[in-house]
Chains A and B, each alone.
Chain A
Amino acid sequence: AQSVSQHNHHVILSEAASLELGCNYSYGGTVNLFWYVQYPGQHLQLLLKYFSGDPLVKGIKGFEAEFIKSKFSFNLRKPSVQWSDTAEYFCAVIAGYSSASKIIFGSGTRLSIRP
């Protein structure tokens, strides 16, 4: 069965630091990959997604993620974080393109930014 691993449970950074959050998935075939974010007190919302094409995808608020098929990874990056980036970040995957496919989420990484 497909699964998603986020190894960093809690990351603490200072403003302007660079960010990289790890995400690995287990599935050998075609995948669609997502990063969702949950700001304090708000609902989950999409940050960015990868379906095909350029493995470097850009999302909202300066975030980007790189799909590395050989490493089964889809790490999230941002060159310079802001205090407003404090949130919980979830990586998610769909295996294949079937209409019966479900989206599986990782356990999340809590990001705390020191002002």
Chain B
Amino acid sequence: GAGVSQTPSNKVTEKGKYVELRCDPISGHTALYWYRQSLGQGPEFLIYFQGTGAADDSGLPNDRFFAVRPEGSVSTLKIQRTERGDSAVYLCASSLQRDNTGELFFGEGSRLTVL
């Protein structure tokens, strides 16, 4: 498809388990963002990639969260030892411009529920 694709759309897991969330950005978009959105809140910045490297990972809440983008396209957000407080919708967005003046194109999100 032409848009940003995120899988899975829904993930239910138990506390303490490991989770991977995948984002396939729009072809040719160099910038890729991960955000987390809790109910009633705006998207909270997690990490931002330009190409393969993380330009800014200051939003990752702790070392249980990690993200990669090895070939500068698909990205995976990895959460270790999940906690109930990690439950949220994880949003991925991509952008064409390198200087962040461009529009962000968002995916539908991955809803994570930690029981």
Interface residues of A (CB under 8 A from B): 4, 6, 32, 36, 43-46, 49, 51, 90, 94, 97-108
Contact = CB atoms under 8 A, between A and B. Distances in A.
A44 B91 contact: yes
B109 A105 contact: no
B100 A101 contact: yes
Interface of B: 33, 35, 40-45, 48, 50, 55-56, 58-59, 91, 93, 98-101, 103-104, 106-109
B45 A103 contact: yes
Q: Is chain B's interface secondary structure helix, strand, loop, or mixed overall?
A: loop
B101 A97 contact: yes
A99 B106 contact: no
B103 A46 contact: yes
Given A99-B50, A102-B48, A102-B56, A90 B100 contact: no
A105 B99 CA distance: 18
Contact of A103 (B50, B98, B104, B108): B104
A111 to B, nearest CB: 14
Nearest to B30: A99
A46 B91 CA distance: 15
Given A49-B103, A102-B59, A103-B100, A90 B42 contact: yes
17 contacts: A36-B104, A43-B108, A44-B106, A46-B103, A46-B104, A98-B99, A98-B100, A100-B48, A102-B48, A102-B56, A102-B59, A103-B45, A105-B44, A105-B45, A108-B40, A108-B41, A108-B42
B84 to A, nearest CB: 22
A45 B106 contact: yes
A106 to B, nearest CB: 5
A102 B33 contact: yes
A49 B102 CA distance: 9
Contact of A106 (B42, B59, B91, B109): B42
A51 B33 CA distance: 20
